[in-house]
Structures are given as structure tokens and as C-alpha cells.
Amino acid sequence: MNYSFPVAALVAVFLGACANPINRATFDNYSETCAVAESNGRLDVAEEACYRALVNTDWGNLGPELKSQALYNLGRIKRGLSKFGEAEQLFKESLAIEDKLPVPSEQKIGRRLLELSVSLAAQDKWSDGARYLERVLPLTEKFSPREQAYASEVLSQYGRHLAAGATDSDLAARFEAKAKALR
């Protein structure tokens, strides 16, 4: 009896379940194209490249860390293109992955929370965004100076909006205080 076909099929399935180096190289190329296009202000090109990088994380079984990064990168591009609903979903997916990692990165979680809150504010979902932004407060110390400046601006905007709406003056004051501390 010839068992070569079933053995070959099992080997193919086993290899397909492993991370594929070709997909990793393709992921890296698309990620670099995305970053260059973004820095050149070509968000339409960046959107396509970031999307393709994301697809390669699934096709190549590249793992949750790279998938989270690809979701986050595409979310930032979508936000830049004013596709706030799409950005919201991408940031939520990325955040869910980061929260489940064996060793979650507070800095990465903080970045995702911050971007998610910005996308929600752009959709006039300030209350929803405030819940996520509140989680950022203890994480800002992990940010780079540039990220702290951005966080300060977001916190200040939220503080002013919440104070004007008189929805949660205590939280508004906490946001404003943290924004000042980051300046």
C-alpha cells in the first residue's frame, strides 16, 4: 500500500500551520511601504500597503504580535483618512490582542487606547472615548516625549469637552491635570 500521498498531505498541512518566511518578508516589505507612504503624505498608498501587510499576518500565520501591529498601523492610516469608524474597529481588535498577550506592553496598549479615543471623539462618541482615555492616565509615563505631547493634547481636548458638557467634571479635571503634567 502506498502511503506517500497522505504523508505528503500531512507534511503540507504541518508546514502551512507554521509561520511562513515568505509571508514575513512580504509583511515587512508592505509595512515599510506603508511607513514611507505615510511619511510622504500618501495615505491612499499607505492604506493599501498596510492592508496588505495585515492580510499577510493571517496568510503567513505570523502571530498575534505582528497582527496587532498591522491592525494598529492600518487604524492610524484610516484615522488619518477620516475613516473613523473603520479605525475604531481596527484599534479595538489590536487592543484585544495586546490585552491577551502573555506579556502585554503597557506602552503599546496606551498607544492603542489613545488612538481609539481620538477616533471615537471624531465620531462624537466622547463618553465612549473617555472610558478608554481614562485607562491611558497611568500609562503615559511609558510614552516617548513626542507621544506624551500628543497624549497631552488629546487629554486637554477631552477635558475641555467633558467640562463644557458638564457630563463628568471630575474626569475632566483629571484629564486636564494629566495634560498639564505632560507638558
31-41 pLDDT tens trace: 999 999 999 99
If you search the block for the grid coordinates 498531505, which residue do you land on? 9
Extents of the domains making up the chain: 19-104, 106-183
- Residue 144 — pLDDT band, cuts 50, 70, 90? very high
pLDDT of residue 169: 84
Q: Write down the CATH number for the domain with range 106-183.
A: 1.25.40
- Is 140 a residue whose pLDDT tops 60? yes
Cα–Cα distance for residue pair 167/49, rounded to 1 Å: 40
Mean pLDDT of 101-113: 95
Please list, in sequence order, all residues whose beta carbon lies within 8 angstroms of the beta carbon of residue 67, skipping any fewer than 6 positions away: 54, 57, 58, 97
* Higher-confidence position of 174 and 165: 174
* Higher-confidence position of 100 and 18: 100
C-alpha cell at 25: 518578508
**CA-based Rg of the chain, rounded to a whole angstrom?**
20
Question: Same fold for the domain at 19-104 and the one at 106-183?
Answer: yes
Cα–Cα distance for residue pair 41/45, rounded to 1 Å: 9
Q: Write down the CATH number for the domain with range 19-104.
A: 1.25.40.10
pLDDT > 70 fraction of the chain, expressed in percent and rounded: 89
